């Protein structure tokens, strides 16, 4: 959502000072901006859904930008790109910096320490207009930290895309002006107009980006949602609308119908469509065309026109504060929910959140945005405007850099502790079970917790020529010297987490490890409870095993859940591993670890290591008897392992054992904790398999 003001031919708002509004001001578009932000706020606060209002912001931004540059071109005025960019970002940055600083203060006061690195990274991304790319990469990273709440800065993704387009679009306008001079030298193109050339350019961008958006949304929606390329068509549509507007002259009655139809489609979009899962593909034409219809309807002059509502003083006034309201509403909502522990606000709580957001927005507009916009000194020289921009950036960059440096130093101090102070799972061995853990910092430190994940990075070798294309995630570790055993690790992230113990043991004993892993895809025979992609991956994994005949496969043999039943058999597990046994391949099946309804390390950081809230009873975490008992004796060569006594003890499954975080989120063990299990893991593995 841009802070640029509406510029298109219209009468000034009745009762408003003509000195305070440009003669091209269109109040109905300013009201449309206000209604769009109200939709965004209301849907976020009460419905927990995405409204489609942001798509309308993108349309309006390009619409206004195109009107401004086309007006300059047709009047023969220079574009002054550098001056334009400096002026634009001088208006955008101050309010954004104030909000980000407010978010940092709220983060320090409210959010658990493990979330601080994420917010600090996003503060940089928001300042540099790259938040959308950061979120795109995180959205498709299954192993990224799974935080219970949303980031208070994630809404900057749309502002980042707009900032990128605000740099790109003026280059297009300038490039088109230069290209037009060359084209007019060609007799066949002598009559080409600037609008006509821009229509061709933006029409091409619209067609390409919409096709790309539809394809990416269908195949990789989580990434496409934040992908600038998948959103360019929405800006191109706004530009095409601005170019065509002088030629769109529907009758007044039709404009009245267009306005109301557009409003109805706009308001209902988020209710009828799953915007967060189906956008920004062709379905996003719904809200953008709705916004285009309202803009096309314009000032109808009819008492029944929707513009009569959109041009009202309250909506226009809210439109003046819409940028700041968009900036504030999301962090206020996220931080309020984090502070109160409320999952979804009721009517009264929601009104309080909206009211606080409006107050902060008005104050920001009145005391930050407007004074800097009207400040005369920076307008005299371009370098002065640049100084203001740099000063705003430094005002945020300083605290963020200092905070990150402090976290890094604390993390180094935490990691440098003597290992005897952080025994982890060793604290649950019979000899240490009655001894209290020594006083020490919990490891891994909050800044390192997000990346505390076990994995093998080297791609598969040797068998690549015959590797099934489905098994793109294949990874291999080959020990130095003679290979004494070959083991294939099958399944999902719960198999992968045990590589923290299995990989060091394999390296020490000369075992070769091949990992065939797919997130959220437990290994077993084909099942209706799995999606088609997971079933296909398991089939391809099984085919790989049967073709290459390793000595053994490693799997997770049970499946834990957030709610009762807390642990079950893996669907189709015995049928999935039986062909391996028939081929003489041994199978190692380890019991799954508990899964919770909350983020365990964040609970510990909020409430302390001894808090009852962060210690879940064993009978609410795992089944008794274990599902593994139902497997015994049914498949020859199936060896079962249970390490739950080194995760839960004395009837409780805690978040910290031996000064080590057991979990990195609500269901994955930290690599650090699994590494403390190496001696117990090796002992149980050798005892189960009979290997020496």
Check residue 302 and give its pLDDT.
85
Instruction: Enumerate residues 6+ apart whose C-beta is below 8 A from 343.
Output: 337
Between 99 and 250, whose confidence is greater?
Answer: 99
- The dihedral of CA 400, 405, 408, 413: what is its sign? negative
The answer to whether residues 441 and 659 touch, using CB atoms and an 8 Å cutoff, is: yes
N residues, the chain: 692
SS3 category, 322: helix
SS3 category, 616: strand
Burial class (CB in 10 A: 0-12, 13-18, 19+), 353: buried
Q: Nearest CA to 172 among 245, 102, 272, 239?
A: 239
Confidence of residue 271 (pLDDT cuts 50, 70, 90): confident
SS3 category, 230: helix
Task: Examine the pLDDT at 355 and tell me if it is beyond 50.
Answer: yes
Tokens matching residue 596: 């919770």
d(CA 330, CA 325): 9
Check residue 501 and give its pLDDT.
96
Q: Of 184-193, 249-258, 518-527, where does mean pLDDT reach its minimum?
A: 184-193
d(CA 323, CA 92): 9
Task: Examine the pLDDT at 301 and tell me if it is beyond 90.
Answer: no
The mean pLDDT of the chain is 89
Residue 470's Cβ-side half-sphere holds a number of Cα atoms within 13 Å equal to 15
Output DSSP code: residue 570. Answer: P
SS3 category, 127: helix
Alpha carbon of residue 14 to chain centroid: 43
What is the bridge-based pairing of β-strands 558-560 and 567-569?
antiparallel
The answer to whether residues 607 and 613 touch, using CB atoms and an 8 Å cutoff, is: yes
Confidence of residue 140 (pLDDT cuts 50, 70, 90): low
The answer to whether residues 239 and 264 touch, using CB atoms and an 8 Å cutoff, is: no
Alpha carbon of residue 379 to chain centroid: 38
Q: Percent helix, strand and coil across the chain, each rounded to 5?
A: 60, 5, 35
Q: Of 141-145, 352-356, 408-412, 668-672, where does mean pLDDT reach its minimum?
A: 141-145
Place of tokens 């700041």: 324
- Cα dihedral 596, 599, 602, 608, rounded to 10, equals -10
Check residue 361 and give its pLDDT.
97
The answer to whether residues 148 and 231 touch, using CB atoms and an 8 Å cutoff, is: no
Confidence of residue 3 (pLDDT cuts 50, 70, 90): very low
Beta bridge partners of 560: 567
For 379-438, what is each residue's pLDDT tens digit?
888 899 999 999 999 999 999 999 999 999 999 999 899 988 999 999 999 877 667 778
Residues above pLDDT 90, as percent of the chain: 71
Check residue 20 and give its pLDDT.
52
Q: Nearest CA to 663 among 582, 595, 561, 588?
A: 595
pTM recorded for the entire structure? 0.86
Residues above pLDDT 70, as percent of the chain: 93
Own/partner contacts of 502-505, CB < 8 Å, gap of 24 or more, are 502/554, 502/681, 502/685, 503/454, 503/456, 503/477, 504/675, 504/678, 505/678, 505/681, 505/682, 505/685
Question: Which stretch of DSSP H or E encloses residue 239?
Answer: helix 232-244
The answer to whether residues 456 and 422 touch, using CB atoms and an 8 Å cutoff, is: no
Check residue 248 and give its pLDDT.
87
The answer to whether residues 165 and 228 touch, using CB atoms and an 8 Å cutoff, is: yes
Task: Examine the pLDDT at 9 and tell me if it is beyond 70.
Answer: no
Task: Examine the pLDDT at 544 and tell me if it is beyond 70.
Answer: yes
Taking the alpha carbons at both ends of the chain, their separation in whole angstroms is 65
d(CA 289, CA 101): 36
d(CA 481, CA 325): 63
d(CA 595, CA 628): 17
For 580-627, what is each residue's pLDDT tens digit?
999 999 999 999 999 999 999 999 999 988 888 899 999 999 999 999
Task: Examine the pLDDT at 552 and tell me if it is beyond 90.
Answer: yes
Check residue 365 and give its pLDDT.
95
SS3 category, 134: helix
- The dihedral of CA 595, 596, 599, 603: what is its sign? negative
Q: Of 26-30, 94-98, 560-564, 613-617, where does mean pLDDT reach its minimum?
A: 26-30
SS3 category, 271: helix
For 65-83, what is each residue's pLDDT tens digit?
999 999 999 888 888 899 9
Place of tokens 């400040």: 375
Task: Examine the pLDDT at 142 and tell me if it is beyond 50.
Answer: no
Rg (CA), the chain: 30
Check residue 348 and give its pLDDT.
95
SS3 category, 555: strand
Tokens matching residue 616: 């879940």
Confidence of residue 190 (pLDDT cuts 50, 70, 90): confident
For 391-407, what is each residue's pLDDT tens digit?
999 999 999 999 999 99
Confidence of residue 448 (pLDDT cuts 50, 70, 90): confident
Mean pLDDT in residue range 273-279? 82
d(CA 95, CA 156): 12
Cis status of the peptide bond prior to 177, with omega within 30 of 0: no
Check residue 328 and give its pLDDT.
97
Residue 49's Cβ-side half-sphere holds a number of Cα atoms within 13 Å equal to 18
SS3 category, 669: strand
SS3 category, 665: coil
d(CA 95, CA 395): 12
Burial class (CB in 10 A: 0-12, 13-18, 19+), 119: buried
What are the φ/ψ torsions at residue 640 (nearest 5 degrees)?
-105, 140
For 234-249, what is each residue's pLDDT tens digit?
999 999 999 999 998 8
Confidence of residue 1 (pLDDT cuts 50, 70, 90): very low
d(CA 222, CA 216): 9
Q: What is each CA distance from 46 to 34, 106, 111, 213, 421, in whole angstroms?
A: 18, 22, 22, 29, 47
Task: Examine the pLDDT at 4 and tell me if it is beyond 50.
Answer: no
Burial class (CB in 10 A: 0-12, 13-18, 19+), 258: buried
For 486-523, what is each residue's pLDDT tens digit?
999 999 999 999 999 999 999 999 999 999 999 899 99
The answer to whether residues 484 and 505 touch, using CB atoms and an 8 Å cutoff, is: no
Tokens matching residue 6: 């509406």
Most confident of 7-11, 227-231, 688-692: 227-231
Check residue 616 and give its pLDDT.
94
Tokens matching residue 62: 């390009």
3-state SS string over 376-398? CHHHHCHHHHHHHHHHHHHHHHH
Q: Nearest CA to 620 among 675, 558, 557, 565?
A: 565
Confidence of residue 6 (pLDDT cuts 50, 70, 90): very low
Confidence of residue 55 (pLDDT cuts 50, 70, 90): very high
Check residue 16 and give its pLDDT.
36
């Amino acid at each position: 959502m841009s802070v640029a003001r509406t510029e298109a031919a219209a009468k000034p708002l009745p009762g408003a000072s003509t000195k305070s509004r440009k003669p091209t001001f269109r109040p109905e578009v300013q009201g449309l901006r206000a209604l769009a932000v109200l939709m965004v706020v209301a849907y976020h606060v009460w419905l927990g859904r995405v409204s489609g209002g942001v798509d309308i912001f993108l349309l309006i931004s390009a619409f206004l930008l195109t009107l401004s540059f086309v007006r300059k071109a047709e009047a023969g005025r220079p574009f002054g790109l550098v001056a334009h960019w400096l002026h634009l970002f001088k208006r955008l940055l101050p309010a954004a910096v104030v909000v980000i600083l407010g978010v940092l203060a709220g983060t320090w006061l409210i959010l658990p320490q493990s979330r601080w690195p994420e917010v600090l990274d996003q503060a940089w991304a928001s300042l540099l207009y790259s938040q959308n790319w950061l979120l795109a990469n995180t959205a498709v990273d299954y192993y990224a930290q799974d935080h219970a709440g949303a980031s208070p800065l994630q809404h900057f993704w749309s502002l980042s895309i707009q900032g990128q387009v605000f740099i790109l679009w003026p280059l297009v306008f300038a490039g088109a002006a230069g290209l037009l001079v060359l084209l007019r030298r060609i007799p066949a193109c002598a009559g080409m107009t600037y609008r006509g050339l821009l229509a061709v350019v933006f029409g091409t961008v619209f067609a390409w980006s919409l096709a790309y958006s539809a394809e990416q949304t269908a195949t990789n929606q989580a990434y496409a949602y934040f992908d600038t390329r998948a959103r360019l068509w929405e800006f191109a549509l706004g530009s095409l609308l601005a170019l065509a507007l002088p030629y769109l002259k529907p009758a007044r009655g039709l404009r009245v119908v267009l306005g109301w139809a557009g409003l109805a489609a706009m308001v209902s979009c988020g209710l009828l469509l799953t915007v967060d899962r189906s956008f920004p593909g062709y379905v996003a034409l719904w809200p953008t065309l709705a916004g285009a219809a309202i803009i096309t309807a314009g000032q109808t002059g009819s008492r029944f026109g929707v513009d009569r509502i959109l041009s009202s003083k309250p909506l226009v006034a809210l439109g003046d504060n819409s940028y700041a309201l968009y900036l504030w509403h999301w962090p206020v909502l996220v931080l309020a929910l984090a502070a109160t522990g409320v999952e979804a606000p009721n009517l009264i709580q929601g009104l309080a959140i909206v009211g606080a957001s409006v107050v902060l927005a008005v104050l920001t507009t009145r005391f930050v945005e407007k004074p800097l916009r009207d400040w005369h000194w920076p307008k005299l020289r371009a370098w002065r405007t640049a100084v203001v921009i740099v000063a705003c950036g430094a005002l945020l960059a300083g605290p963020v850099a200092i905070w990150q440096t402090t976290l890094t130093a604390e993390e180094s101090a935490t990691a440098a502790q003597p290992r005897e102070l952080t025994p982890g799972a060793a604290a649950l061995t019979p000899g240490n079970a009655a001894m209290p853990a020594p006083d020490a910092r919990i490891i891994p430190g909050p800044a390192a917790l997000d990346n505390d994940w076990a994995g093998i990075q080297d791609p598969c070798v040797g068998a690549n020529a015959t590797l099934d294309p489905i098994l793109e995630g294949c990874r291999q570790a080959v020990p130095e010297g003679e290979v004494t055993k070959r083991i294939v690790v099958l399944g999902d992230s719960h198999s992968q987490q045990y590589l923290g113990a299995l990989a060091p043991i394999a390296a020490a004993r000369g075992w070769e490890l091949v990992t065939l892993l797919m997130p959220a895809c437990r290994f077993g025979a084909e099942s209706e409870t799995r999606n088609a992609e997971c079933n296909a991956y398991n089939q391809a994994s099984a085919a790989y095993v049967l073709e290459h005949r390793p000595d053994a496969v490693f799997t997770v043999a049970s499946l834990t859940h957030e709610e009762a039943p807390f642990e079950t058999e893996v669907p189709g597990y015995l049928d999935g591993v039986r062909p391996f046994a028939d081929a003489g391949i041994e199978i190692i099946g380890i019991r799954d670890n508990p899964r919770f309804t909350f983020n365990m390390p964040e609970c510990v950081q909020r409430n302390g290591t001894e808090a009852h809230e962060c210690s879940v009873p064993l009978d609410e975490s795992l089944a008794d008897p274990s599902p593994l008992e139902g497997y015994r004796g049914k498949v020859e060569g199936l060896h079962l392992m249970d390490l739950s006594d080194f995760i839960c003890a004395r009837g409780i499954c805690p978040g910290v054992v031996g000064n080590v975080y057991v979990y990195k989120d609500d269901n994955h063990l930290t690599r650090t904790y699994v590494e403390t299990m190496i001696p117990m893991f090796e002992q149980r593995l050798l005892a189960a398999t009979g290997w020496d």
